[in-house]
Amino acid sequence: MPSRRERRRWASGHLVTAFSVLAVAGCDRVTAPGRTPELRVTPEVVLLPLGAEQTLRVAGAAPGTAPDWGVSNGHVASVNSAGTVTALGVGTALVRAGMGEREATAELTVRAAFVAPAAGAGFTCAVTDLGAAGCWGRDWSGQLGAGEPVRNSKQWPRARGVVGRIRFAAIDAGVSHACGLDQGGQAFCWGSSYSGERGTGRASEFDEVSRPTAVSDLAFSSINVGEGHSCALTREGAAYCWGAASAGQIGGPVATICTDRYGQSRGSCAFGPTPVSGGLSFRAISAGSRHTCAVTVVGDAYCWGSDTRGELGLGAGWRPSAPAGRREPALVVGATRFTGIAAGDAHTCALGTDARAWCWGANAAGQLGTGTADTLVHATPQPVSGELRFGSISAGGSHTCAVTVDGVAYCWGDNRSGQLGDGRGLSSAVPSRVAGTLRAATISAGRSHTCASTDRLLYCWGSGTAGELGTGLDTGSSVPARVFGQ
């Protein structure tokens, strides 16, 4: 028969064992002595919108110790030493917490609800419903704004978040740079700055270009980006432009000669916002490849810059412009009053007060929408064929797109890359309805692709070799394709 001391030792051991079992079944997960507790990350499944942050917790770590954090895909997210995860790009990743040989993971998915697209040359940017910005496609000059060192052959077929924790209200994409406005009207630009198109007031270092930089202390209401220049309107309607000025596209006098990082001249330019000459008050502005157009508050259209194909709309008095182009705003001929305007590579389109579309300039691919394609110079506004009424319009490389007042998207002009979105692959000199049943809120025509937004969804079509459609692939589409990660 066991002694009293042996019975007490036996009872004590069984009490410890029983307590350990009960604790494991409870919320505190107390582990029996000598056994190392397992790690557990909470929450184990995380869904974040692009640009958002969330701090994860770890259960099972010894008091006073902290795990090492990591993430399986640094293009989707980053995680700091405190376990705070930042959503950097759409996609999925595993977030890992490790302590020695023990580790635990959480499944992360980053998504975005894009509401305002901007199609450029080989890349696209868009603003989300929460004010974050994402870009995808070619990133040779840092135009995606992802904050990474510039490399000459980089491209991303899925949205990367624009760094800087800026909450954007608007964004636009050019050839190798992009600009946006935050919700207070502050302008930021990123990407190439060989000609001062980022508006920083100085020549930018090559390794600076992939991060947004504030343009000035001016507050703007809209911003638009061309090939090598940028323009914006203040809330009072004053126009400012900066960047390349060799064709007169900034609309004011400049005295600076820009050089690239190799010391090669890039021609005249303006490193910071320069007031457009004439003192006019505008309601809309659009920067094309080497020309700019704007509509005044009373509906008159003015254009300046290159006029090689009649894109300034000067009428019968047109003559091929000298290399310097028109350096001051020139009134577009005709009696039509306009509400909006869009400058493309070498053509311009605008919407009249009756919502009909008018176009002028180059027409080799039928981008004027007049019913014929030709190599003539059309320096006078031409009515677009048909009786369609549009609420918005966008001019691309050699094609034009617009959305009717009831949300139907039409495109016309060059269709060699499928940028008209009608599924036919043939160029059209009249408006061709975009395939499918999508109801578009906004539309943006780029160099060889097009994007349109619906209710919290974004679709792109046309050339996709640089990943500019954002589908996760580097292939094109002749019909609208849904952008990945929505």
Q: pLDDT (tens digit, 9 = 90+) per residue, 268-280?
A: 999 999 999 999 9
Strand partners for 412: 400
Q: What is the pLDDT of residues 222-251, one digit of tens each?
A: 999 999 999 999 999 999 999 999 999 999
pLDDT value for 396: 98
Cβ partners under 8 Å of residue 180, min gap 6: 125, 127, 133, 162, 166, 168, 169, 170, 171, 172, 187, 188, 189, 212, 223
**Alpha-carbon distance values, 226 to 324, 405, 407 (Å):** 17, 26, 26
- The residue-averaged pLDDT of 188-193 equals 93
pLDDT level of residue 8 (50, 70, 90 thresholds): very low
pLDDT value for 165: 94
pLDDT value for 153: 65
For the chain, percent of residues with pLDDT exceeding 70: 89
* Distance of alpha carbon 341 from alpha carbon 296, whole angstroms: 10
* Distance of alpha carbon 30 from alpha carbon 212, whole angstroms: 49
Which residue blocks in 84-208 are alpha helix, DSSP H? none
Q: Which parts of 313-454 are beta strand (E)?
A: 326-331, 338-343, 347-352, 357-361, 378-383, 390-395, 399-404, 409-413, 428-433, 442-445, 449-453
pLDDT level of residue 117 (50, 70, 90 thresholds): very high
* 340 and 351 Cβ atoms separated by less than 8 Å: yes
For the chain, percent of residues with pLDDT exceeding 90: 78
pLDDT value for 435: 98
- The residue-averaged pLDDT of 171-188 equals 97
- The residue-averaged pLDDT of 104-123 equals 97
pLDDT value for 6: 41
Residue 17 has pLDDT above 80, yes or no: no
pLDDT level of residue 154 (50, 70, 90 thresholds): confident
pLDDT level of residue 176 (50, 70, 90 thresholds): very high
**Nearest Cα residue to 476 out of 416, 428, 433, 430:** 416
Cβ atoms within 10 Å, residue 436: 14
- The residue-averaged pLDDT of 421-431 equals 97
pLDDT value for 194: 81
Strand partners for 98: 68, 103
pLDDT value for 208: 59
Prediction pTM value: 0.90
Residue 91 has pLDDT above 60, yes or no: yes
The answer to which of 7-16, 253-262, 303-312, 404-413 has the lowest mean pLDDT is: 7-16
* 154 and 210 Cβ atoms separated by less than 8 Å: no
What the block records as the tokens of 37 is 């507790």
pLDDT level of residue 327 (50, 70, 90 thresholds): very high
pLDDT level of residue 331 (50, 70, 90 thresholds): very high
